[in-house]
Amino acid sequence: MASKETAARHLTVVPSREFLDRYTVPVQSFGECGAADVEIARSGRGAAEQAYAGPGRHDDLDPAVHFEGRWARFVDQPKAYRGTFVHTNDLRSRVEIRFEGRAIRLVYAAAANRCKSTASFSYAVPIDFDEYAARTQWQAVSQRFEAPTPGKNTLIMKIDGGDKALNSYAACHLDLDGFIVE
């Protein structure tokens, strides 16, 4: 039994939301609380396959987004797309965005405390990407990342330099507010 997520209230611990979405089935609701069953684990079936986002604008809450590592979600942010965005300063953290299309653009909050990052398609050659801006720019849109082939693709994003760092925390942050599939 736990507080349930609603359109107005989101889980702020990103891995918790992803676990609930992929591995549980809601069974009962009690006002603002709910109970879920780990149905998939008991049935012997694997987790539901991650979705691919189609053309258009998508939020960081989209099921086509998968987070690894330490990410936190900000909610009730009036300047963010649909009021939420996620961020990390953990150099080991990554985000994977699965989409079906020929290109993707990232939506983020450009700011002075943002990092140089890399984006790549399925861990191929990294493409430099920088969310830094002297003045905060909500819902900034990145350059166009052209997919190697049209169709189903996965874009991976992480803070640059994470593989060689002695400390796992950066002095800057990487965030994701959404993405646009073309």
Secondary structure letter of residue 83 according to DSSP: G
* Residue count (the chain): 182
Strands 56-59 vs 33-37: parallel, antiparallel or unpaired: unpaired
Banded pLDDT at 5 (limits 50, 70, 90): low
Task: Calculate the CA dihedral of residues 67, 129, 162, 180 and round it to 10 degrees.
Answer: 10
Domain ranges of the chain: 1-45, 49-181
State the Rg of the chain over Cα.
17
Share of the chain above pLDDT 90, in %: 56
pLDDT at residue 123, as a whole number:
79
What class does CATH assign to 49-181?
Answer: mainly beta
* Percentage, residues of the chain above pLDDT 70: 70
Mean pLDDT of 37-52: 62
Q: What is the pLDDT of residues 69-105, one digit of tens each?
A: 899 998 889 999 999 999 999 998 999 999 999 999 9
Q: Answer yes or no: pTM beyond 0.85.
A: no
Q: Which residue in this structure is represented by tokens 């609380």?
A: 33
Digit-coded pLDDT (tens) for 122-179: 878 999 999 999 999 999 999 999 999 999 999 999 998 755 555 688 888 999 999 9
